[in-house]
């Protein structure tokens, strides 16, 4: 799928949500800079900026979509946003990142290549936060890809066991600090709005819409899988 077309049919709207799991490590970690790898439209950066987590930090953001990078630049002029590939990270210097964040990206790409870049770009003792999809054997959603039911038709894979991903992180290079899974809940409004092709971003800034979006249904068998690693100082 063309990445620019995908950015139009799958917009990411801004809200105030930040995972408590991520907040815990943002508060506990000493970091001077942060990278949002595969930032999309910048929904997470919007929330982090709103609540001051980007204050006095050097902030990097990369995404394959030029359209999305243009949106991210509007969040804050201080964000260094670039069109780049999470499998290559050509715009990021080696051993330069204190806090690496990637949400709902690794399942879309070559995960081995992405982890190789994490190892290159993150400083020793740097923190890595990954949010991805975990699927139980009974998990079902109405999209199809490679003759399987999937929650997103653009996923290359959906992890079905911890070892699927953890085995790729070399224990001599990364220390797993913590990981957790929480059931995926989907705002009912988003289901209808996407199918009506309503792409007006200001719609989601409406107070009433924010309240209505809190009405969610569970996607049984699908979980948000959050993992935090520390790069080992060799």
Tens of pLDDT, residue by residue over 188-215, are 777 666 655 555 566 666 667 777 777 7
Run of H or E residues at 45:
helix 43-50
Q: How do the domains of the chain map onto residue ranges?
A: 3-231
Class of domain 3-231: alpha beta
Q: Are 227 and 130 in contact (CB under 8 A)?
A: yes
- Which residues of the chain are under the pLDDT cut of 70? 1, 191-207, 234
Q: Tell me the angle at which helices 66-75 and 43-50 cross, rounded to the nearest 10 degrees.
A: 10
Given this model, what pLDDT does residue 9 score? 72
Given this model, what pLDDT does residue 204 score? 63
Beta partners for residue 182, in sequence order = 224
Q: CA-to-CA distance for 39 and 72, rounded, in angstroms?
A: 8
Q: Alpha helices of 161-212 — where are they, by DSSP H?
A: 162-166, 188-195, 207-212
Given this model, what pLDDT does residue 107 score? 97
Given this model, what pLDDT does residue 156 score? 92
Tokens of 211: 């309240």
Given this model, what pLDDT does residue 180 score? 97
């Amino acid at each position: 799928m063309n990445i620019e077309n995908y950015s139009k049919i799958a917009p990411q709207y801004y809200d105030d949500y930040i995972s408590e799991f991520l907040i815990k490590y943002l508060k506990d970690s000493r970091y001077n800079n942060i990278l949002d790898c595969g930032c999309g439209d910048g929904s997470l950066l919007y929330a982090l900026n709103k609540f001051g987590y980007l204050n006095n930090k050097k902030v990097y953001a990369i995404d394959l979509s030029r359209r999305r990078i243009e949106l991210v630049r509007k969040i804050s002029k201080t964000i260094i946003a670039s069109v780049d590939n999470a499998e290559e990270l050509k715009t990021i210097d080696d051993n330069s990142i204190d806090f690496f964040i990637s949400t709902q990206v690794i399942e879309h790409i070559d995960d081995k290549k992405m982890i190789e870049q994490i190892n290159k770009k993150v400083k020793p003792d740097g923190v890595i936060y990954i949010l991805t999809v975990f699927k139980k054997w009974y998990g079902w959603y109405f999209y199809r890809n490679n003759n399987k039911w999937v929650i997103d038709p653009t996923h290359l894979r959906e992890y079905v066991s911890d070892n699927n991903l953890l085995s790729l992180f070399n224990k001599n290079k990364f220390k797993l600090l913590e990981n957790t899974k929480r059931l995926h809940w989907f705002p009912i409004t988003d289901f209808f709005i996407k199918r009506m092709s309503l792409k007006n971003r200001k719609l989601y800034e409406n107070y009433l819409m924010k309240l209505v979006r809190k009405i969610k249904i569970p996607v049984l068998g699908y979980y948000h899988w959050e993992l935090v690693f520390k790069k080992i100082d060799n």
